[in-house]
Homo-oligomer: A and B are copies of this chain.
Amino acid sequence: MLSFENDYSCTATPEIIERIEQIEQNQYPGYGNDSICESAKTKIREACSCPDAQIFFLVGGTQTNQTIIDSITPQYAGVVAANTGHVNVHEAGAIEFTGHKVLTLPHHDGKIDANELDEYCATFYADGNYTHMVFPGCVYISQATEYGTLYTLAELEAIRKVCTKYDMPLFIDGARLGYAMTATGNDVTLEDIARIADVFYIGGTKVGAMFGEAVVFTHGNMPKNFVTLVKQHGALLAKGWLLGVQFDTLFTDDLYCRIARHANDAADRIREVLVERGYTLTFDAPTNQIFITLDNATSERLQRNVRLGFMEKADDTHTVMRICTSWATTDEQVEQLIALL
Interface residues of A (CB under 8 A from B): 3, 5-6, 8-12, 14, 17, 20-21, 23-30, 59-63, 66-67, 70-71, 74-76, 78, 89-94, 96-102, 123, 126-129, 131-135, 205-206, 210-211, 223-225, 227-229, 231-239, 241-242, 310, 312-313, 328
The 9 closest A-B pairs by CB, nearest first: A63-B234, A92-B231, A128-B310, A76-B228, A92-B232, A93-B134, A96-B101, A9-B27, A66-B234
Q: Are B232 and A135 in contact (CB under 8 A)?
A: no
Answer whether A28 and B12 are a contact pair too, CB < 8 Å, given A94-B234, A99-B99, A231-B131: no
Answer whether A24 and B9 are a contact pair too, CB < 8 Å, given A101-B102, A129-B90: no
CB distance from A239 to the nearest CB of B (A): 6
Copies in the complex: 4
Q: Are A205 and B63 in contact (CB under 8 A)?
A: no
Residues of B within 8 A of A78 (CB): 93, 96
Q: Are B30 and A232 in contact (CB under 8 A)?
A: no
CB distance from A203 to the nearest CB of B (A): 10
Residues of B within 8 A of A28 (CB): 9-10
Q: Are B5 and A233 in contact (CB under 8 A)?
A: no
CB distance from A179 to the nearest CB of B (A): 16
Of the A-B pairs whose beta carbons lie under 8 Å apart in the complex, a sample of 22, sorted by A's number, is A8-B238, A9-B28, A9-B29, A9-B30, A11-B23, A11-B26, A17-B24, A59-B59, A74-B224, A74-B225, A75-B229, A78-B96, A90-B133, A92-B133, A92-B134, A93-B100, A93-B232, A97-B99, A101-B102, A128-B310, A135-B228, A233-B234
Cα–Cα distance between A235 and B97 once the two chains are bound (Å): 13
- Give the interface centre of A11, A61, A63, A233 by most chain B CB atoms within 10 Å: A11
Answer whether A99 and B93 are a contact pair too, CB < 8 Å, given A9-B28, A21-B21, A234-B60: yes
- Chain B, residue nearest A12 (CB): B24
Q: Are B17 and A135 in contact (CB under 8 A)?
A: no
List 9 other contacts, CB 8 Å, given A11-B23, A91-B132. Answer: A9-B30, A10-B25, A11-B24, A60-B234, A60-B236, A89-B133, A93-B134, A131-B227, A132-B228
Q: Are B90 and A101 in contact (CB under 8 A)?
A: no
Cα–Cα distance between A96 and B133 once the two chains are bound (Å): 12
Cα–Cα distance between A231 and B94 once the two chains are bound (Å): 7
CB distance from A62 to the nearest CB of B (A): 5
Q: Are A132 and B231 in contact (CB under 8 A)?
A: yes
Q: Are B76 and A310 in contact (CB under 8 A)?
A: no
Q: Are A6 and B25 in contact (CB under 8 A)?
A: no
Residues of B within 8 A of A20 (CB): 11, 17, 20
Residues of B within 8 A of A126 (CB): 313
Answer whether A3 and B24 are a contact pair too, CB < 8 Å, given A76-B228, A93-B100, A234-B63: no
Cα–Cα distance between A126 and B227 once the two chains are bound (Å): 17
CB distance from A246 to the nearest CB of B (A): 11
CB distance from A212 to the nearest CB of B (A): 11
